[in-house]
């Protein structure tokens, strides 16, 4: 598991992550806070979603 963490830069994702411009354009949302377990809570405006402009794999990576 340690090698997988290194290969996927898991330990530095909070410092290194850059949101892809296309995802924020086609799948707009806002971070509105954190829950009781300190997990991020995000609001997504699905009415503005351009489903043709998004790729499902990138959409899943963005949400997870």
Task: Encode pLDDT of 9-57 as tens digits.
Answer: 888 877 777 767 766 666 677 788 888 988 888 887 767 666 666 665 5
Give CA–CA dist 44/64, Å, rounded: 13
| Number of independent structural domains in the chain | 1
Strand partners, 44: 29
Give CA–CA dist 1/6, Å, rounded: 9
pLDDT score at 36: 92
- What's the domain range around 46? 1-55
Q: Is residue 28 part of a domain?
A: yes
Predicted model pTM: 0.38
Q: How confident is the model at residue 58 (pLDDT cuts 50, 70, 90)?
A: low
Q: Is residue 4 part of a domain?
A: yes
Give CA–CA dist 9/46, Å, rounded: 30
Q: Is residue 19 part of a domain?
A: yes
Q: Which residues fall within 8 angstroms of residue 35, CB to CB, at 6 or more apart?
A: 41
Q: Is residue 47 part of a domain?
A: yes
Q: Is residue 14 part of a domain?
A: yes
Q: Is residue 60 part of a domain?
A: no
Residues 55, 62 contacting (CB under 8 angstroms): no
Q: Is residue 42 part of a domain?
A: yes
pLDDT score at 26: 66
pLDDT score at 59: 63
């Amino acid at each position: 598991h340690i090698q997988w963490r290194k290969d996927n830069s898991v330990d530095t994702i909070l410092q290194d992550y850059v949101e892809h411009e296309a995802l924020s354009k086609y799948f707009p949302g806002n971070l509105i806070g954190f829950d009781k377990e300190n997990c991020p809570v995000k609001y997504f405006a699905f009415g503005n979603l351009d489903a043709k402009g998004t790729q499902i794999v990138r959409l899943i990576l963005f949400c997870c």
